[in-house]
Amino acid sequence: MSGDRTTSGRRGGPDRRPPQIELAGVGVRIGAKVLLDDVCATVPAGGFTGIIGPNGSGKTTLLSTVARWITPATGQVLLDGTPVRAYSGRELARVMATVEQHSVTEADLTVEQVVDLGTIPRAGGRLRRIDTREIVDDALTALGLQKLRTRTWQSLSGGERQKTQMARALAQQPRVLVLDEPTNHLDVAASLELLAQLRDLPVTAVAALHDLQLAGLYCDHLIVLAGGRVVAEGPPALVLTPALLDRVYGLDAEVMPHPRSGAPLVILNGVQRHGGAQPETEQI
């Protein structure tokens, strides 16, 4: 990569601070279809940002653009002001780890072999084998996978695969974690545990979430998408209002503060008869 980030990192030791992610006018099209339209949003450094919005609103496309799997037709994604397109593949892998919605692998690796894949971007450098083992061990412990470490990927349940992918991402020791529906397949307790971990990790975490309750309880910043556009952005207590849930999802919902944490609790009454409307952008 060109630019100052690498140079200063080498001089002063590796820069492990989690960066801010900025989406600056990001537009994505496939043929005539607009998937993202002039998306401007900020993912705060070191926080846990949730991307919410109805099916097909562009959440996966947005995360894929951040992870550089999709090149936007307009605009750009910046990490602390540096365009992601300026990073080499290896540099980006040392900064950013991803967990996809549906992880597929044909190879029948064991759980610990899958998690060990996460160490590759660093193991190519000066890291010794013993360090790699410790990293894999810590990641397996963090996700409660020690008992499954010798099990093969093909023999795992959906939730066990999801936890294994999360452990692989942790073993990458990233500064940015990009996750598409990380609680997919997880039971209620495992979901709460994973989101609490994400909230407490010293990384910039950004995740697509369908569960508004969990988004309100665990995220400190929300970006709401509808029809490929950002329609609201800000702290959950300000974003998750009955009016927004009506406009974006067509929901009849009430929102009240959680009795202990004060975080917004979404009480679902049902769907509105009129259905959801396409809302105007709202910066909070």
Ligand X SMILES: Nc1ncnc2c1ncn2[C@@H]1O[C@H](COP(=O)(O)OP(=O)(O)OP(=O)(O)O)[C@@H](O)[C@H]1O
Binding residues vs ligand X (CB under 6 A): 30, 33, 35, 53, 55-61
The least distance separating ligand X from the CB of residue 139, rounded to whole angstroms, comes to 26
Which DSSP string corresponds to 3-17? SHHHHHHHHSS---P
The least distance separating ligand X from the CB of residue 86, rounded to whole angstroms, comes to 24
Helices of type H across 12-96: 59-66, 89-95
Beta carbon nearer to ligand X, 58 or 121:
58
The least distance separating ligand X from the CB of residue 53, rounded to whole angstroms, comes to 6
Question: 237: which 2 tokens?
Answer: 């207590």
Comparing C-alpha atoms, which of 245, 221, 224, 248 is closest to residue 235? 221
The least distance separating ligand X from the CB of residue 212, rounded to whole angstroms, comes to 13
The least distance separating ligand X from the CB of residue 225, rounded to whole angstroms, comes to 6
Burial environment of residue 17 by CB neighbours within 10 A (0 to 12, 13 to 18, 19 or more): exposed
Which DSSP string corresponds to 119-157? THHHHTTT--HHHHHHHHHHHHHHTT-GGGTTSBGGGS-
Beta carbon nearer to ligand X, 181 or 246:
181
Provide the sign of the torsion angle of the four alpha carbons 225, 231, 236, 241, taken in this order. Answer: negative
Distance CA 207, CA 278 (A): 23
The least distance separating ligand X from the CB of residue 169, rounded to whole angstroms, comes to 19
Distance of CA 279 to the CA centre of its chain: 24
Beta carbon nearer to ligand X, 77 or 148:
77
Beta carbon nearer to ligand X, 29 or 151:
29
Beta carbon nearer to ligand X, 91 or 211:
211
Beta carbon nearer to ligand X, 60 or 119:
60
Q: Which element (helix H / strand E) includes 191? A: helix 188-200
